[in-house]
Amino acid sequence: MIQAIAAPIVNSDSSHKQPTSLLADASKRLEKALRYISISEDTIARLSYPKASLSVSIPVRMDNGSLKIFTGYRVHYDDTRGPGKGGVRYHPHVTLDQVQSLAFWMTFKCALLDLPFGGAKGGIIVNPKELSKAEVERLSRGYVNEIADFIGPDRDILGPSVYTNSTIMGWMMDRYSTIQRQLTRGVVTGKPLSLGGSQGRAQATARGAFYVIEIVLPKFNCIPQNTTVAIQGFGNAGATLAKLLFDAGYKIVAVSDSQGGIYAPNGLDIPRVGEHKYSNREIKAVYSRDTVSDIVEHRTITNQELLTLDVDVLIPAALENQITADNAPDIQAKYIFEVANGPISSAADEILNNRGIEVFPDILVNAGGVTVSYFEWVQNRNGWYWTLEEVNQRLKHKMAAETQKVWDIAQTNQIDIRTAAYVHGLKRLGEAMDATGTRDYYTSD
């Protein structure tokens, strides 16, 4: 069913009691940004609620003949600047609150990058590792069956996220096209190239983050060869970014996945780690063979240990709320780049800011994915496809331009980078919402 959200996330009316949730925590960043920009009351009111939330039950016939019901969600947070855009994640801990928070972040991400999209997100409560490929396909197609009236190339565009990939996006596009009785490539991005996908989309999140890092670190006089990096999360984004940084000369000293990680003070051989992860689906044993262990001094570590290593750059590229008020005092990195969505709680933010640790936020750092998704959507609509070089050049130009604007806002107002990013996105959202009419417009003579 489609339901309204019971309480606002921005305290524009003290008569409402805010819930304690991931979404409420995410909104605290918005409240801080409001101190540095003049925004109409209408804009604040409209951003206080997700536009619509859909909860669906997805029946799936399992390989053994049994029927299992999965719960899925799709949230439209705001569509003032264009149709909703957001990924679909498959994870056992998906909640409606989480999906709403991700749609909230996507709203600001698209505005910050000046993309003609609003914010949306979806998810299914499932551990895809426990399903066969055929069961995952039936689940993916079943999800689209249930949300088909809620999405579309001019309403809400799906994309890959945690534990979803180009193959799953292809299934979703195919199912939606069957329902509509016409080929509708623009309803999904992150598709296989043979089904209308874009060159560079699979690496876009990591490449966009790499461009931000390459723009920012020279401002602090950081030289790649002298800069140590730890990356939590070795999925598509984390592994790709590790390779890009390794090739650029950065010293990657630690990486981890959901099973744990490895730490080598003298630096890891990232191509070897990547090969091992691909072959064995874990990285902890990558240096277990004598021939390699003799060469590389290393030790196995937990994900939490990785976060507190003494490194120059920390990159959380896993899930939400990895750095909280409990472990923020132990963080030793000088610079944090959020490749995951919401890896740092608002309480941890305050601690890190007070300690002088520079945090570069998710709505900027990981925006490469949605930017190239926009490129894919444009290519689908035009029927004209770009080369990899063209895609990467357009992405680099976009990331560089908006990173510099956020940096300038932070310097001008003497505020942290996250707040500057929200100020930048909020300004564009406010302009779009005000263009539809505000109280001042309707009450003026």
The one catalytic residue among 28, 85, 121, 334 = 121
The continuous run of DSSP H or E covering 256 comes out as: strand 251-257
Q: Which two tokens stand for residue 374?
A: 């926009």
Distance from the Cα of residue 245 to its chain's centroid: 19
Strand, helix or coil for residue 209: helix
How far is Cα 254 from Cα 54, in angstroms, rounded to an integer? 40
Contact (Cβ atoms closer than 8 angstroms) between residue 292 and residue 272: yes
Q: Half-sphere exposure of 69 toward its Cβ, with a 13 Å CA cutoff? A: 3
Give phi and psi for 191, each to the nearest 5. -80, 165
Q: Which residues have CB under 8 Å from 395's CB, separation 6+?
A: 200, 204, 207, 208, 211, 368, 371, 372, 375
Biggest CA-to-CA distance, the chain: 82
How far is Cα 148 from Cα 155, in angstroms, rounded to an integer? 11
Active site residue 121: yes
Q: Which residues have CB under 8 Å from 195's CB, separation 6+?
A: 170, 173, 174, 185
* DSSP-derived secondary structure for 333-363: -SEEE--SSS-B-HHHHHHHHHTT-EEE-HH
> Cα separations (Å) of 274 from 167, 211, 301?
21, 21, 17
Edge-to-edge order in the sheet of strand 299-301: 299-301, 260-263, 251-257, 228-232, 313-316, 335-337, 358-360
Distance from the Cα of residue 164 to its chain's centroid: 13
Q: Which residues have CB under 8 Å from 265's CB, separation 6+?
A: 253, 297
How far is Cα 210 from Cα 244, in angstroms, rounded to an integer? 7
How far is Cα 141 from Cα 134, in angstroms, rounded to an integer? 11
Residue 396 burial class via C-beta count within 10 angstroms: exposed 0-12, middle 13-18, buried 19 and up: middle
Catalogue the active-site residues: 121
